[in-house]
A and B are shown apart, each in its own frame.
Chain A
Amino acid sequence: MTRLLLGELRKLRTTRLWLWMLIGACAVTAIFLSFLIPLDGAEGNPNPPLSTVEGQRALFSSAGAANVFVLILGIIAVTGEFRHQTVTPTFLATPHRGRVVISKLVTYLLVGAVYGIVVMALALAIAAVWFSAKGIDLAGEALPGAIGAIVLSMAVYAVLGVGVGALVRNQIAAVVGALVYLNVVEAFLGVLPGVKDVYPYLPGGANAALIDTGQPGVQDLALLEPWQGGLLLVGYGVVFSVVGSWLAVRRDIT
């Protein structure tokens, strides 16, 4: 299994996708923070002021938007094998297809966490520069929770991506479908009367609970506790992967 994990890492390292996704994640983080910090205290800004612990938590949570990049990375980890037909040599090397999916799940859990650490390091660096310019102190007690939540969220989103990819083998369908679902469908479900009670249990709602932020317009919803959201999100990733790999074992590779 170690060889499979190292093999997956090598697949990731030997194309440029990881770099583009890392640049994307860092860019989104930098843009969000660079917009939010100057808006601190501005009229109509609903976020708590940055001088408070809540304000800083909300600020760092905004970096959670970068998780779409690890979601895409996880999706392409599986769909790319079908798109470029490398699934043939992959399954020839490892005829036990379930092991291939498991090795991808574990690899991308770690890769997602590493992306999360990089993104949060960047967020801290940007915040440190802005805060010193504005004369705000970093609130030590806000940081571990916020950082841990983002790192966990990124790790789980990468796993979720692998699950979605195993389920929907078409790359474009999987990527577009996942993005539309998370950004459009769930946002809509979150405000729909009758359905919105379900929202906290959907992947986006679970993630919102984990990183302790609401979807725009649905802040009034009662989300799960962060740890519940995290567990639920892991559960989604595992269920998608199990169903996906269960199907993969039965599908003919032609």
Chain B
Amino acid sequence: MCPRPPMWEEMVVGTDPGLIEIAGLKKTFGTVRAVDDLSFTVPSGTVTGFLGPNGAGKTTTLRCLLGLVTPTSGTATIGGVPYARLPHPSATVGAMLEAASFHPGRSGRDHLRVYCTINGFPDSRADEVLGLVGLTGPGKDRVAGYSMGMRQRLGLAAALLGDPRVLILDEPANGLDPEGIAWLRGFLRKMADEGRTVLVSSHVLSEVEQTVDNVVIISRGSLVRQGTIAELADSHGTAVLVRGPEMPRLAAALPEHVTATESAGGLRIVGSSTDEIGHVAFTERIELSELAAERSDLEDIFLALTVDGGQR
């Protein structure tokens, strides 16, 4: 297991220069409410998954945070300061928004060098970040010939150019092959362990499930749930699965506060624990061939939380 990240409560607003804070954020495009009164925080030293189905308002939220979109109301700050007022934005925040933000006729290396010039970083920094993302060789080729995965890596390289304390990545796993996703996981973990803030959006929970410490789940522009992955799993209630030759006897012997339903040749018991069921079976001398806690599929929880528009 990775080192335990600081708890949300331990982080005091204003003392963490890498703290991302979204407060009462609203953005309407015409009549469409893209983001509706959204509030959450992301502390330093953690990887936070920003999850929601396509169209939930993730990208709009990130663009508000980066000063590219003006919120209708509310604030989005980094270390208490709006992005546009940061003294050195590129050295503070690294962002990767869409994979296609390159001129196809320019080489990946030249793309990075343009921003080295503008930000006052040495040109050698372009080669360093190309090395970090594994693009040293192809960096000299024109972007037009890059695969989707290579563009994602180049986007990540651009985000890393200023060695930022805050990383904001919009769907970075899109277009990556399984090997690339595994690499990305390790990379984000390393970034957070170095004390950086990492906010990574995705519409597929399983893509980030193994990497993130915390999740912020939104649907239709509103917050559905914020917490750790473990809290998310617990919140959904757990069930115990049992199988054996004497299931009717077991059902009769169960305490009153649990409910048992027949399931695949056994019982699915909600409101109890494997400890309690095992104890009941032992005292009643009921033979069991299987006793297991049902593994909550996080993807199912995620779908349940988001599919009905966040109504709990």
Contact = CB atoms under 8 A, between A and B. Distances in A.
B69 A7 contact: no
A16 B90 contact: no
B55 interface: no
B28 to A, nearest CB: 11
B249 interface: no
A80 interface: yes
A88 B120 contact: no
A93 B90 CA distance: 6
A88 B101 contact: yes
Nearest to B93: A92
A213 B98 CA distance: 48
B107 interface: yes
Interface in A110-151: none
Contact of A86 (B29, B84, B102): B102
A6 interface: yes
A182 interface: no
B113 interface: yes
Name the residue among A4, A93, A250 with the largest chain B CB count within 10 angstroms: A93
A252 interface: yes
Given A80-B103, A253-B69, A7 B115 contact: yes
Interface in A23-45: none
Contact of A89 (B83, B107, B113, B158): B158
A127 B102 CA distance: 43
Interface stretch (B60-68, B228-236, B279-287): B60-68
**B contacts with A: majority SS:** mixed
B84 A16 contact: no
Interface in B25-68: 29, 59-60, 63, 66-68
Interface residues of A, number: 26
Interface string A6-27: 1100110011110000000000
A252 B107 CA distance: 28
B69 A14 contact: no
B63 A253 contact: yes
Contact of A7 (B85, B102, B103, B114): B114
Contacts of B95: 92
Contact of B89 (A11, A80, A86, A93): A93
Contacts of A17: 105
24 contacts: A3-B118, A3-B119, A6-B117, A6-B118, A7-B118, A10-B110, A11-B106, A14-B106, A84-B102, A84-B103, A85-B100, A86-B101, A86-B103, A88-B98, A93-B89, A93-B119, A95-B67, A95-B83, A96-B84, A252-B63, A253-B63, A253-B68, A253-B69, A254-B59
Interface of B: 29, 59-60, 63, 66-70, 83-86, 89-90, 93, 95, 97-98, 100-107, 110-111, 113-115, 117-120, 158
Given A84-B102, A93-B90, A95-B85, 16 more contacts: A4-B118, A6-B118, A7-B115, A10-B117, A11-B106, A11-B114, A15-B105, A86-B102, A86-B103, A89-B101, A92-B66, A93-B118, A93-B119, A95-B67, A252-B69, A254-B59
